[in-house]
Chain A
Amino acid sequence: MSKNEFTDLSAKMPKSFSKDNLILEVSNTRLRDSFIKNTLNLKDYSNDIKSLNAVFEKNDQGNAWLQKNVTFEDARHLISRTGIGAHPTEIFKIVGLTRSQAISQIIENIDSRVTNTKTPTFFNEPYPNYWIQGDLDENDQQKFRVARDKEIEELRLWWVSEMLTTQSPAAEKLIMFWHNHFVSSYSGINQNVHLIAKQHWTFRQLGHTNFRALAKAIIKDAAMLEYLDNKQSRKKNPNENFARELLELFVIGEGNYSEKTVKEVARAFTGYSSNGLRQDEFRFNHWDHDNGWKIIFDRKGHFDGDDVIDILLNQSETAEFITRKFWKNYVSDFNFNDDEIKKIAIMFKSSDYDIKTLLRSTLSSKSFWATQNRATIVKSPIDFIIGTIRSTGRLPDTWPSIPNELSTLGQNIFEPPNVAGWPGAGDWIVPSRLLMRRGMLSSLANPPQSENLNLSDNMMMNMFSNANMDASEDPNHINNIYLRYAAENFEGPPEYILQAIDKNNKLIWRSDRTKAKGGIDTSLFGENNNQNKNWQIQHFEVPGDLNPEFFKLFFLNDRAGPSGTGDRNLFIDWVTIPGKKFMASDGYQSTNCSNANQNPGALYCGGFLKLKTFKSLVGRPNTQKLNTRNYNGLSFERITFDWANDLKENNYNRWANFNISLSKPKFKNIELDAIRISIVRNRDNMGEKIFMRLEERNCFPSCIGGPLPRSAFRDNKSKNLSVNYLISGATDHKESRQWYDLSKESKEFVAELVMAIPQMLTEMKKGRHWKNRNGINKFDGWKPVFKQIELRLPKSKYAKTAKNLPIKVYKSKNNNNEMMQMMSDLKSVKPLKMHGRNSSDVSWVNYIGRNNAKKPAELFLAQAPVSVSMESQALGEIFSDPVFNLK
């Protein structure tokens, strides 16, 4: 096919997903209830796909290899390359179609906007104040980090469950492709799990649409700007890191640009930052942006980031660079056909970077179908584990530990090793990982299945409702006890007994001696020190009345090998009875390793754990009002020093700021997430003025409980609004309007804020920012100003409006709602429906081997085996064939 034919073809294709405005909705989310929103609404989306497919199918008629009928082997190849594994039902669905039609089915089915399983609970919880983290003491910082670590585990597990259950595996595959292309990592951005989740959502919404739109969203993605140090990139001192990786790894590829281009691109991205005081949304700091002329690929202009993307996408190398990466992902790790890659790239570019066109063109290439390219891609850990589970249709009850297993094999989701991502190919099977793959074969072939893990929603609610109150009269009543634990095995699993004991220290119930499930074999994989554990929930039914004061858990069979060869351990998280939760971490532990007893719940040695204090679980989880404070005055969760200009004696700067940030200020009906107040001292012709300034960009969701008054100052460049409330000095017409224009409620709020300044100055000294940001030194210089404020306030207009009650500071709740946490603990053990079916219907055995002529090896191997017989019926044997590492 000539170049011209491609161009003609592209002219016929729908263009609706190439518009820049796709991205704006995503990056401007300002809704308060959830930081993640499905904002993309592509009209006639499916019609566009249909017409794209129609254009291609018509064109494919001229290509003999695409008119062949799809065989079982072809179908298996297409499904496992575009998706995650290949289940017989997926395969048989397309056997007999022409290859062209089969590709259409794949393309039509790509849509990741609607998710299959419930999104993580933290998506709907209040956005944590990351900006305040540094102000907390060590203990609270630790709690903050632990909360984030739990959330990233939840996010990982959720994505894994999505990949396990999705009906659109090709879409998940694309998201993974972009995660490994536009790379950021959880550790690389200070454990900000919310930013990683937002970035994931961008891939989910745009990853199958248009590359230009996606690239323009990524250059405004807060996780990326943090990961590649662009947040600190300023006109005076541009940081080239982001610019360099954008060129080298994200868009145009190494060797296709000069060092000078890197510098110019870096200038275009100065001031691309994010607003930490709000929900870390993208912010263009125009005062840090270098608006000068830049020369990028022979074009000259006052370019910004969007312009850079447009310029780079005009270069012919870009389409080829991305196409080559697609080739490696879909066609072959080892065989490249430059001519075909070039042709696909032309197609990609002329569709204005439509990602589905790129995918469809790649799958339509002769090379994709060629026999010599079958089994020439090394399976990623996701292919290897999740793909195998999807192919067999047999979900192990240990599936919640899949994120760990992926990590053991080198693919810790949201944690690529560096900005280049997982290298893949040979890197997936470096010796240590090849070994680990071997260690996992038997459990993939014979997944551990347990009998009764059917936690229904009803049973979940059982744990929360205070059921035993009304049930005490019913002698047939059953009490449900749940225990959350994780195990590490060594020559067998840990065994335990759980006891319930009442107020009088009397034993009222005890469990049988029970074997822990889901443990990891430490002799093979070592101790699982820093990783997620494979948490399990054990359910006990106890007849009759039960009102325990505490629980006791005995670890009965501790065992360890010689130094470093393995260890049997048991970890306990919590025990519940209806309405009550007993936390191991609040308990007391006594084992024969005295040094390991400070961490109740981690049983490294034989002994017992006493779960003493309980929390009551009453009513349904409520996400709306987590922090209700009934106080008539002004209250906060935290008051922190932010920064200040130096104001030593000899400093005659006209403007000087002293900034204090307030977390969760509340007064009457006004309840805000965060605001920053600036105490400003200004010297001009009219003498010295002192006032409090509020700026819109430093407030979330607003500064005063509503929009700032119309008389507010507006910065021409940033459109940022601000208001000044005078404390001392000569007034100004506009400034007094800013006060009189306020509603009654806002007026009261502002008055309270101003009047509270002296109290805030005391309160802020309790945090770490005060010390670490050198507040003490700055404070000295500001003393005369603060003195003046104290003098003026009692006589001010604010004093007349404000009640001037003392401010109150409430300790913030670091730990999420108990019940929310439990809901997500429980969710991880709920059964998943694979391929939309119950687990009993979906096993591969129902579809292959018996009445069907196909052999198991044909289903599970991408080419004929080299070490086992084609006739083998044993999965363990088939999986151990070296070919099993390939797809």
Chain B
Amino acid sequence: MNRRDLINFLAAGIAIPLAPISISAASIKSGKRLILVELSGANDGLNTVIPIKDERYSELRPRIKIDRSKAFNLGNGLVLNSAMRSLDGALQAGDLAIMQGLGYPGQNRSHFKSIALWETGGDGTKSGKNGWLTEDIEQMAGSNQLDAHGISLDGGMGIFASPSGVWLSMTSLGQFSTLQNKLVMPNQTLTNNPALSFVLDRGQALNSSMQSISSKLSRLRNKNLNINAGDFGKQASMAAYLIDAGISAPVLKIKIGSFDTHENQTWRHRRLLQDLSKGLSGLRRALKQSGHWENTLIMTYSEFGRRAKENESGGTDHGTAAPHFLMSGSLEGGLWGIHPDLGNLKDGDVQFTTDYRVVYDKILSDWFGLEQNRFKNYRSKITDGLFS
């Protein structure tokens, strides 16, 4: 155990970890990257990936159902909302995978609480305290060479909650170059005060991150990576700039919202899905252009899905399971998992068919090569062959 680890344990006031760090020693050198996309407010899965042939769908949603004419075919009796038309290219190229029926036992229907569960890998019986991938990413070999472990571009840091590691929040590209000069950190760190030693260590790590990031950004090759998709497009293009500038951070996070469509869902949802797919396809285009698409994985997540039955206000209320998107130049596209059965509703809600942590395990183990990760007990054959 090196000094930094020791300090981290001291800081957290916790005991030494049970598994030796070397077990999960996947290397950071692979250059793999994950972009997390939060669909804030809870996306209505049933009007995103639609079981158009199921009569029960039109019965449940007489007013807000999506017409066949307003959708494009996914096979298996499912169609994708036509608001997502701009993702057709990715779909045709096999770069878009749809994970169906994701959820967890003991559904919590509070936005605040349920997003915290997704962020920390918890469920109805137990919430986690740290971000779901922070510990595993920090333990990857060579992770101390990174510019940062992760960067949030929307200000939200819940998913990066960690007592250690370099998890940054960056809401503007110029932010670090402006702040850089204000960091005063002596090079000598010899002190017998553990708290001070900790502060110095943090400060130095941060200093070198910022220096590296801002100098890389100042040498940006490609100046035209703007993505036109509202505020979400701004964040997506920031992600593209960071990647293009060669900033090494295995996790980036962006957000789009609000999907909390209790009323007049049809047009609101349509606009959100349009922005989402324009942003995602723009990101794909930009990353293909800069040669990073094969190494990048995009994953969406959200608090929960929405109630199967529409409400009386032309909207939907808080529900349970929902499908989510994975995109990359190196995955097997198409439909994955099982669409929830509309004939088997519980209290008006669909039941989840795959625990969302199956996907977390898949990403950690197969994308980042961290077999021995926090979610290994959720491993399931259902995702076999997802990453080509």
Which residues of A line the B interface, CB within 8 A?
Answer: 138, 185, 187-188, 190, 240, 328, 332-335, 372, 375-378, 417-420, 423, 425-427, 429-432, 434-435, 438-439, 441-442, 522-527, 529, 561-566, 768, 771-772, 863, 866-868, 880-883, 885-886
Q: Which residues of B contact A866 (CB under 8 A)?
A: 186, 188, 191, 196, 200
Residues of chain A with a CB closer than 8 A to B125's CB: 240
User: In the bound complex, how far is the Cα of B10 from the Cα of A328, in angstroms?
Assistant: 12
Q: List 27 A-B contacts (CB under 8 A).
A: A138-B263, A187-B112, A334-B10, A334-B194, A378-B199, A417-B161, A418-B127, A419-B127, A423-B12, A423-B129, A426-B198, A427-B161, A435-B179, A439-B179, A439-B182, A523-B178, A562-B173, A563-B173, A563-B234, A563-B237, A771-B311, A771-B313, A866-B188, A867-B185, A880-B184, A882-B184, A882-B186
Looking at the assembled complex, report how far the CB atom of A773 sits from the nearest CB atom of chain B, in whole angstroms: 10
Query: Does the CB pair B184–A376 fall under 8 Å?
Result: no
Q: Would you list which residues of chain B between 1 and 51 have a CB under 8 Å from chain A?
A: 8, 10-13
Assuming the A-B contacts A426-B164, A523-B175, A565-B173, are A328 and B127 also in contact, with contact meaning beta carbons closer than 8 angstroms in the complex? no
Contacting pair A441 B182 (CB below 8 A): yes
CA distance A848 to B343 in the complex (A): 76
B206 A772 Cβ-Cβ under 8 A: no
* B residues near A420, Cβ cutoff 8 Å: 129
The chain A residue sitting closest to B148, CB to CB, is A431
- B223, closest chain A residue (CB): A562
Answer whether A418 and B171 are a contact pair too, CB < 8 Å, given A334-B10, A426-B164, A771-B313.
no
A123 CA / B92 CA spacing, docked (Å): 60
CA distance A419 to B113 in the complex (A): 10
Bound Cα distance from A188 to B110, whole angstroms: 8
Contact B238 A563 (CB under 8 A): yes
What is B's interface to A at a CB cutoff of 8 Å? 8, 10-13, 110-113, 116, 125, 127, 129, 148, 152, 155, 157-158, 161-169, 171-175, 178-179, 182-186, 188, 191-196, 198-200, 202-203, 205-206, 209-210, 226, 234-235, 237-238, 262-263, 311-313, 317
A190 to B173, CA, bound (A): 35
A531 to B: closest C-beta gap in Å: 10
Tell me the bound Cα distance from A418 to B8 in angstroms: 21
The answer to whether residues A431 and B312 also contact, given A564-B172, A882-B196 and a CB cut-off of 8 A, is: no
A432: chain B residues within 8 A (beta carbon) = 152, 157, 167-169
In whole angstroms, what is the CA distance A333 to B78 when docked? 55
Residue of B nearest to A377 (CB): B195
Which residues of chain A are within 8 angstroms of B184 by Cβ–Cβ distance? 867-868, 880-882
Q: How many angstroms from the CA of A863 to the CA of B116 in the assembled complex? A: 38
Q: Which residues of B contact A564 (CB under 8 A)?
A: 171-173, 234-235, 238
- Which residue of chain B lies nearest to A438 when distances are taken between CB atoms in the complex? B182
User: How far, in angstroms, from A885 to B203 measured CA to CA in the complex?
Assistant: 11
B274 shortest CB reach to chain A, Å: 15
CB contact under 8 A between A138 and B313, given known A328-B13, A866-B200: yes
Do A565 and B157 touch across chains, with their CB atoms under 8 A apart?
no
Query: Which 9 A-B residue pairs are closest in the complex by CB-CB distance?
Result: A526-B171, A426-B11, A771-B312, A432-B169, A334-B194, A565-B174, A376-B195, A187-B112, A867-B186
How far is A163 from B89 in the complex, measured between Cα atoms in Å? 57
Residue of B nearest to A887 (CB): B195
Q: Say yes or no: B202 contacts A434, CB within 8 Å.
A: yes
**B9 to chain A: closest CB distance in Å?**
10
| Given A138-B313, A439-B179, A563-B226: A431 and B172 interface contact (C-beta under 8 Å) | no
Q: Cβ of A768: which chain B residues have Cβ within 8 Å of it?
A: 312-313
Name the CB-closest residue of A to B13: A425
Residue of B nearest to A529 (CB): B155
Q: Please indicate the chain A residues that have their CB under 8 angstroms from the CB of B196 in the complex.
A: 375, 863, 866, 882-883, 886
Across the interface, do B178 and A524 meet the contact criterion of CB distance under 8 Å? yes
Q: In the assembly, what is the distance between CA of A376 and CA of B7, in Å? A: 13
Q: A434-B202, A886-B195 given; name 19 further pairs at CB < 8 Å.
A: A334-B195, A423-B12, A430-B163, A431-B202, A432-B168, A562-B173, A563-B237, A563-B238, A564-B238, A566-B174, A768-B312, A768-B313, A866-B191, A866-B200, A867-B185, A880-B182, A880-B184, A882-B185, A882-B186
How many A-B pairs fall under 8 Å by CB? 165
Q: B234: which A residues are within 8 A, CB to CB?
A: 563-564
Considering residues B111, B198, B263, which has the most beta carbons from chain A within 10 angstroms of its beta carbon? Answer: B198
Q: Are A561 and B186 in contact (CB under 8 A)?
A: no
Tell me the smallest distance from the CB of A493 to a CB of chain B, in Å.
Answer: 17
A434/B206 in contact, CB under 8 A = yes
Given contacts A335-B194, A423-B129, A523-B174, contact A431 B164 (CB under 8 A): no
B-chain residues with CB within 8 Å of residue A419 when the two chains form the complex? 127
- CB atoms of A561 and B174 under 8 A apart: yes
Residues of B within 8 A of A378 (CB): 195, 198-199
User: How long is the Cα–Cα vector from A868 to B185 in the complex, in angstroms?
Assistant: 10
Residues of A within 8 A of B202 (CB): 426, 429-431, 434
| Chain A residues with CB below 8 A from B175, complex form | 523-524, 526, 565
Residues of chain A with a CB closer than 8 A to B238's CB? 563-564
Q: Which residue of the partner chain, among A138, A188, A417, A425, contacts B158 with CB atoms under 8 Å?
A: A417
Name which residue of chain B comes closest to A229, CB basis: B108
Residues of A within 8 A of B226 (CB): 563
Per the bound structure, the CA–CA distance linking A426 and B164 in Å amounts to 8
In the assembly, what is the distance between CA of A419 and CA of B313, in Å?
34
Closest-CB distance, A162 to chain B (whole angstroms)? 26
The smallest beta-carbon distance between A48 and chain B, in angstroms, is 34
A contact residues around B8 at 8 Å (CB):
426
How far apart sit A441 and B195, CA to CA, in the bound complex (Å)?
20
- State in angstroms the CA–CA spacing of A427 and B163 once bound together: 5
Q: How far is the CB of B296 from chain A (nearest CB, A)?
A: 20
Determine how close the nearest CB of chain B comes to the CB of A438; give it in whole angstroms: 5
Q: Pick the contact of B312 from A441, A522, A563, A772 — CB < 8 Å? A: A772
* Chain A neighbourhood of B10, CB < 8 A: 334
Which residues of chain B are within 8 angstroms of A442 by Cβ–Cβ distance? 182
Closest B residue to A240 using CB positions: B125
Instruction: Kindly provide the distance from the CB of A236 to the nearest chain B CB, expressed in whole angstroms.
Output: 15
A885 touches B171 (CB 8 A): no
Q: Assess A525 versus B129: contact at CB under 8 Å? Given A426-B198, A866-B200.
A: no
The one of B12, B116, B129, B205 in contact with A431, judged by C-beta atoms closer than 8 angstroms, is B205
**A contact residues around B191 at 8 Å (CB):** 866
Q: Which residues of A contact B161 (CB under 8 A)?
A: 417, 427
Q: Is the CB of B11 within 8 A of A525?
A: no
**Are B172 and A430 in touch, CB under 8 angstroms?**
no
Residues of B within 8 A of A240 (CB): 125
Q: From residue B135, how far is it (CB to closest CB) to chain A in Å? A: 14
Instruction: Point out the residues of chain B lying under 8 angstroms from A566, CB to CB.
Output: 172, 174
- Assess the A431–B195 pair: CB atoms within 8 A: no
CA distance A190 to B12 in the complex (A): 31
Name the distance in Å between A622's Cβ and chain B's nearest Cβ. 36
In the assembled complex, the CB of B55 is this many whole angstroms from the nearest CB of chain A, namely: 21
B-side contacts of A426, CB under 8 Å: 8, 11-12, 163-164, 198, 202
Residues of A within 8 A of B188 (CB): 866
Q: How far does the alpha carbon of A335 sit from the alpha carbon of B13 in the complex, in Å?
A: 9
Q: Is the CB of B312 within 8 A of A882?
A: no
Closest to B181 in A: A438
Q: Residue on B with the closest CB to A863?
A: B193
